[in-house]
């Protein structure tokens, strides 16, 4: 993939001028046709290029999250930033803005086996999530932690469906990879400890994780997640439920409506029918979109809090 910088300077300069090759890192070049188009993959390619010159660096934090597909609030923005790395402690080794010096057990390091990022050395998803939890706000940290827990829990289920299957055994197993990734002092700071204590594999999407985190930060009564409601139109699942107040919450993601899961025909009708069924079972349903929770979280939280107050909650919003 990479062009050897030892080729003649004139030939290299000519290739650069023609646009045949691109410099990803000082002294490391790539054929223009091999340059990834997706921002996340191009970011990871820059990390791989730096590893050519500094093999002891392991891609981590947002860089590893982008490569693994862990959810971030603003992935395109993160992809525009310089890559992040971690290196193991050693003589004369110091941290910098882009390079953290922390313990790196072999079990916490993996590599991309194939594709345009083949050979990229990076932290495992669990270690990546814990690194993020130690430095990011609760909302983004919980998105990554829930994602890793969800993947781990799915390995213990025959049906691969988490709804109604989060036993104590599955919950403990889902959090084990994250617990084992806590090897550095920042992983045990107040921020990371709080986030890990709230991690839960039953939340099915980044939007649900984000919403739950905002509920925690606002001081709302915490709901049960992914709850089965018996209705006169059959069993219906809701994302959040406050049974003591008779309120249910639904976080809609754009993936349902943008064609990513196939045809969108009838999706809006199905959603409306499901909400009517849940309301017919005695629940007051409040709905929001993930994009809305990202853009105006206080407005959404105010709407949820107002609905809870209308049904007997006497709390307050921070």
Domains and CATH numbers, the chain: 2-124 (no CATH), 204-318 (3.40.960.10)
Whether the per-residue pLDDT at 278 is higher than 90: the answer is yes
Both structure tokens of 39: 């921002």
Residue 16's pLDDT band (cuts 50, 70, 90): confident
Q: Specify the pLDDT at position 271.
A: 76
| pLDDT mean over 238-259 | 82
Q: Specify the pLDDT at position 119.
A: 93
Residue 31's pLDDT band (cuts 50, 70, 90): confident
* Nearest one of 186, 217, 213, 189 to 199, comparing CA atoms: 213
Q: Specify the pLDDT at position 14.
A: 83
Q: Specify the pLDDT at position 257.
A: 39
Share of the chain above pLDDT 70, in %: 89
Q: Specify the pLDDT at position 12.
A: 79
| pLDDT mean over 1-5 | 53
Q: Specify the pLDDT at position 267.
A: 59
**Contact (CB, 8 A) for 42 and 67:** no
**Contact (CB, 8 A) for 205 and 253:** yes
CA distance 174 to 60: 21
Q: Specify the pLDDT at position 1.
A: 56
Please state which of the ranges 44-53, 70-79, 97-106, 166-175 shows the lowest mean pLDDT.
Answer: 166-175
| pLDDT mean over 298-313 | 96
Query: Between 17 and 107, where is the model more confident?
Result: 107
Q: How many CB atoms lie within 10 A of CB 178?
A: 24
Residue 318's pLDDT band (cuts 50, 70, 90): low
Q: What average pLDDT is seen over the chain? A: 89
Report the 3 state secondary structure along 5-41: CCCCHHHHHHHHHHCCEEEEECCEEEEHHHCCCCHHH
CA-to-CA dists, residue 277 to 207, 249, 268, 274, 293, angstroms:
23, 14, 14, 5, 25
Whether the per-residue pLDDT at 70 is higher than 60: the answer is yes
Q: Specify the pLDDT at position 26.
A: 86
């Amino acid at each position: 993939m990479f062009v050897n910088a030892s080729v003649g300077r004139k030939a290299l300069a000519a290739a650069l001028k023609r646009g045949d090759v691109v410099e990803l890192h000082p002294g490391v070049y790539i054929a223009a046709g091999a340059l990834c188009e997706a921002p996340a993959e191009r970011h990871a390619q820059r990390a791989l290029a730096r590893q050519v010159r500094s093999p002891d660096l392991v891609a981590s934090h947002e860089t590893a999250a982008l490569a693994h597909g862990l959810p971030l609030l603003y992935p395109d923005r993160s992809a525009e930033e310089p890559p992040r790395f971690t290196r193991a402690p050693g003589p004369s080794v110091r941290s910098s803005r882009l390079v953290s010096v922390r313990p790196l057990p072999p079990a916490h390091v993996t590599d991309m086996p194939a594709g345009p990022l083949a050979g990229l050395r990076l932290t495992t998803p669990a270690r990546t999530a814990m690194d993020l939890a130690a430095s990011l706000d609760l909302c983004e940290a919980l998105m990554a932690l829930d994602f890793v827990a969800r993947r781990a829990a799915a390995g213990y289920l025959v049906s691969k469906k988490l709804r109604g299957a989060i036993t104590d055994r599955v919950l403990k197993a889902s959090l084990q990879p994250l617990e084992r990734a806590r090897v550095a002092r920042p992983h045990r700071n107040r921020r990371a400890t709080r986030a890990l204590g709230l991690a839960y594999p039953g939340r099915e999407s980044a939007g649900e994780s984000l919403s739950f985190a905002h509920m925690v930060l606002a001081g709302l009564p915490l709901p049960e997640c992914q709850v089965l409601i018996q209705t006169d139109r059959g069993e219906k699942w809701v994302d959040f439920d406050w049974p003591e107040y008779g309120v249910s919450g639904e976080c809609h993601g754009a993936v349902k409506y943008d064609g990513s899961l196939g045809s969108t025909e009838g999706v809006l009708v199905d959603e409306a029918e499901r909400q009517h069924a849940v309301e017919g079972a005695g629940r007051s349903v409040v709905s929001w979109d993930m994009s809305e929770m990202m853009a105006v979280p206080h407005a959404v939280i105010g709407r949820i809090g107002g609905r809870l107050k209308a049904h007997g909650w006497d709390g307050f919003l921070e």
